[in-house]
Amino acid sequence: MDLIAYAPSLTPIRKDRLQDIYDYTDYICIFQEELKTAVNLFGKDKTYIIICFEEPDISQIQKLDLAKFIIQVPESFGPIHSYPFMYLEGANTWEQANRYARQGVAAVRFESPLTFSSEELRQWRGTFTDTLLFATADPNVQFLSSWFARPEDIHQYEDVFDALCVNPSNLRYYAQGSFRGNLNALLPSLPASESVSNQLLTPDFAIHRLNCKQVCENPSYGCFYCERIRGITKQMERIYNNGN
């Protein structure tokens, strides 16, 4: 599984995390203003996903003589002809994903609820074979039932996504496939009431969610899997803490 470092600005990133970007990633998401610095740090062999909120400066990008790059712009800019591009907006409907692909994007970032539809994602990937399909492994989430991928589970997604995008502070965990601690240390936006000890989560947590289609959003389905797992895991934490 390829890893994408989401590092739009390099200034606040610790030196050891910069080394992790160099060691573990194939792709780097970076603001165009920071691109030259990134190339000096990480070299020209990475694929740079260049974030542009305004009209991209193609001449400046060309001067860097990059081996591979993707220009990321708002959809309102429309397709960029002659250069690999993608949209800043992630795809959360199939109509949106298909529209992007028909416009010739080089990559699509998928969001929930589509990230809970592994069978359809595999089919989409098989149809648009030249398009990089990825999702953010450690997004800003508020609930345990939200979509995210634990470091231990990324192998479950190897035939679903081409790559996963990760915060530089978490790259080492995803590269090593292991994280010990509370989930809100990995996912800082996750409230304490929703967070549980990662190592106490059931090993098949991701398997149950691979193709669940996030039916919990529809009360008529009555799926309480994530809520039940949270309750069981928190009970295990209390037992463990009382025993120590």
pLDDT digits (tens, 9 = 90+) for 123-175: 999 999 999 999 999 999 999 999 999 999 999 999 999 999 999 999 999 99
Residue 220 has pLDDT above 80, yes or no: no
> Residue ranges per domain, the chain?
2-179
When pLDDT is averaged across residues 105-120 and rounded to a whole number, the result is 97
When pLDDT is averaged across residues 113-130 and rounded to a whole number, the result is 97
Do 161 and 218 touch, CB atoms closer than 8 A?
no
Residue 219 has pLDDT above 80, yes or no: no
Q: How far, in Å, CA of 144 to CA of 159, rounded?
A: 23
When pLDDT is averaged across residues 75-89 and rounded to a whole number, the result is 95
Q: Which residue has the higher pLDDT, 217 or 155?
A: 155
Residue 231's pLDDT band, with cuts at 50, 70 and 90, is: very high
Which of 139, 132, 130, 86 minimizes the C-alpha distance to 111?
139
When pLDDT is averaged across residues 104-126 and rounded to a whole number, the result is 97
When pLDDT is averaged across residues 54-68 and rounded to a whole number, the result is 94
Who contacts 149 (Cβ-Cβ below 8 Å, separation ≥6)? 135, 137, 138, 156, 157, 164, 206
DSSP label at residue 197: B
Arithmetic mean of pLDDT over the chain: 95
Q: Domain 2-179 in CATH: superfamily? A: Aldolase class I (3.20.20.70)
Do 114 and 92 touch, CB atoms closer than 8 A?
yes
Do 1 and 154 touch, CB atoms closer than 8 A?
yes
pLDDT digits (tens, 9 = 90+) for 173-185: 999 999 999 999 9
Which of these ranges, 19-28, 65-74, 99-108, 210-219, has the smallest mean pLDDT?
210-219
pLDDT digits (tens, 9 = 90+) for 178-208: 999 999 999 999 999 999 999 999 999 999 9
